[in-house]
């Protein structure tokens, strides 16, 4: 397999194109500008459409339109820009429109800082817009994983007719790493995917029952409730079937760290350091942060595990709440945190672990 050296943002864009994404609309914001820039060069080569929208709000609405016409579509932004997109994301979820978006997240709240952070966890996993909808949220910790997840995200989105979020911190987005890119879908495959979406609003023969009817709401509260019930069943099924989690040296661990994204990568180095000294330290890495791998943490042997260390680049801690739900008070949970665009330091995690073993 051929390996190429690519920046996270560009690799995400290329993976999307290979998955059949033929529409992208976005708006500049650091640190994700390489995504729209890459798409602006790449999409015309494959007969796709790139638009720089007049705002994040307009861009997500364009994606809502393009995806409603059956085209695999994507947008991206960074934290405050994602807040602006929450309107359209909620519309996509309500109307059950498949689309993929990436949050190359930075320090917050507010305009925050342009440096990497993991401060949008709650927004990503609990409430990405009004109305209580959920999405699968994939959190890469390497550029390769960002590629593989972006490619897979389009399949999840189409399978569920629901948005999928790539929650990617600014480190993964701006770092260069060698990656193996997935096979490019052929024009025929891309067309077949589009044509399979019979629900798309592209014009139909006059036929009231079968018209393309993209409605992010309904006048009938009974129909609204029914839609929400169906969505709730889908969310439960994700918890059963789609959780992805990495266990690293957890088997005999007495201290288990829980971390995702770039924090998990740093935590892994720390595990290796302590293991070299014979210390029983492990890591649970949520790969899907929604559905969250509660079971992986719930099923730990709490006669053996003395403490959990929640490592995340957010103050206050956010994933901590999900970790606590799984631990259920069976052992102490400590945190190792940084925030505001400061990168987690290996030494800080080393010290935090040292206090617990």
Partner 1 sequence: MEKIYARTKGIRPDVVSGFCPGCMHSTVIKLIGEVLEEMNIIDKTVAVLGIGCCGLKMEYMSYDNITSPHGRACAVATGIKRSNPDSLVYTYQGDGDFASIGLAESVSAANRGENISVIFINNGIYGMTGGQLAPTTLLGMKASTAPKGRIAEEHGYPMHMCEILNQLTAPCYLERTSCNTPQNTLKTRKAIKKAFQNQLDGKGFSMVEVVTNCPTNWGLDPLKSLEFLNEKMLTEYPLGVIRDNG
- Our finding on whether 197 is near partner 1 (CB under 8 A) is no
- The least distance separating partner 1 from the CB of residue 205, rounded to whole angstroms, comes to 5
How many other C-beta atoms lie within 10 A of the C-beta of residue 13?
30
Beta bridge partners, 107, equal: 113
* Contact pick of 1, 219, 303, 329 for partner 1 (by CB under 8 A): 219
Could you tell me how many residues of this chain bind partner 1 (CB under 8 A)?
A: 42
Distance CA 39, CA 44 (A): 8
* Contact pick of 28, 44, 217, 332 for partner 1 (by CB under 8 A): 217
- The span of 86-94, 180-188, 271-279, 289-297 binding partner 1 (CB under 8 A) equals 86-94
* Contact pick of 215, 228, 237, 269 for partner 1 (by CB under 8 A): 215
Nearest residue (CB) to partner 1, 64 versus 290:
64
Instruction: Report the site for partner 1 in 111-170 (rule: CB under 8 A).
Output: none
On whether the CB atoms of residues 283 and 311 are closer than 8 A, the answer is no
Query: 32-44 burial by CB neighbour count: b if 16+ within 10 A, else e?
Result: bbbbbbbbeebbe
Instruction: Give the helix/strand (H/E) hosting 99.
Output: strand 99-107
Phi, psi of 168 (to 5 degrees): -125, 125
- Our finding on whether 203 is near partner 1 (CB under 8 A) is yes
Nearest residue (CB) to partner 1, 62 versus 153:
62
**Which residues fall within 8 angstroms of residue 270, CB to CB, at 6 or more apart?**
257, 281, 346, 349, 350, 353
Angle between helices 8-18 and 34-42 (to 10 degrees): 40
Instruction: Report the site for partner 1 in 30-69 (rule: CB under 8 A).
Output: 49, 51, 53-55, 57-59, 61-69
**Which residues fall within 8 angstroms of residue 148, CB to CB, at 6 or more apart?**
15, 140, 182
* Contact pick of 20, 31, 36, 70 for partner 1 (by CB under 8 A): 70
* Contact pick of 6, 9, 12, 95 for partner 1 (by CB under 8 A): 95
- The least distance separating partner 1 from the CB of residue 207, rounded to whole angstroms, comes to 8
**Dihedral sign of CA atoms 14, 140, 31, 98 in order:** positive
- The span of 1-9, 214-222, 245-253, 293-301 binding partner 1 (CB under 8 A) equals 214-222
- Residue ranges in contact with partner 1 by CB under 8 A: 22-23, 25, 49, 51, 53-55, 57-59, 61-71, 73, 87-88, 91, 95, 201-206, 208, 211-217, 219
């Amino acid at each position: 397999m051929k390996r190429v050296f690519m920046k996270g943002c560009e690799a995400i864009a290329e993976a999307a194109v290979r998955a059949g994404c033929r529409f992208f609309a976005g708006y500049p914001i650091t640190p994700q500008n390489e995504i729209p820039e890459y798409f602006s060069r790449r999409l015309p080569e494959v007969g796709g459409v790139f638009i720089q929208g007049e705002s994040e709000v307009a861009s997500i609405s364009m994606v809502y339109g393009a995806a409603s016409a059956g085209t695999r579509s994507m947008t991206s932004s960074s934290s405050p820009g994602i807040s602006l997109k929450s309107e359209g994301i909620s519309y996509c979820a309500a109307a059950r429109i498949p689309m993929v978006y990436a949050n190359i997240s930075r320090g917050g709240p507010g305009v925050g800082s342009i440096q990497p952070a993991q401060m949008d966890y709650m927004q990503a996993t609990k409430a990405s817009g009004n109305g209580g909808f959920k999405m699968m949220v994939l959190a890469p910790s390497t550029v390769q994983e960002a590629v593989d997840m972006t490619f897979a995200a389009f399949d999840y989105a189409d399978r569920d007719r629901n948005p999928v979020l790539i929650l990617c911190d600014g480190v993964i987005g701006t770092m260069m790493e060698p990656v193996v890119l997935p096979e490019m879908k052929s024009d025929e495959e891309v067309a077949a995917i589009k044509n399979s979406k019979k629900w798309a609003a592209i014009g139909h023969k006059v036929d009231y029952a079968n018209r393309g009817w993209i409605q992010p709401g309904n006048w009938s509260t009974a129909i609204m409730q029914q839609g929400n019930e169906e969505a709730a069943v889908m969310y439960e099924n994700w918890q059963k079937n789609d959780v992805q989690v990495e266990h690293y040296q957890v088997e005999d661990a007495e201290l288990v760290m829980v971390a995702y994204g770039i924090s998990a990568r740093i935590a892994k180095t720390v595990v290796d350091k302590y293991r070299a000294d014979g210390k029983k330290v492990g890591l649970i890495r949520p790969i899907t942060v929604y559905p969250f791998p509660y079971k992986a943490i719930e099923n730990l042997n709490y006669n053996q595990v003395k403490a959990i260390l929640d490592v995340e680049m957010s103050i206050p801690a956010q994933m901590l709440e999900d970790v606590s739900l799984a631990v259920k008070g069976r052992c102490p949970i400590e945190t190792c945190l940084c925030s505001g665009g400061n990168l987690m330091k290996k030494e800080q995690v080393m010290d935090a672990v040292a206090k617990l073993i």
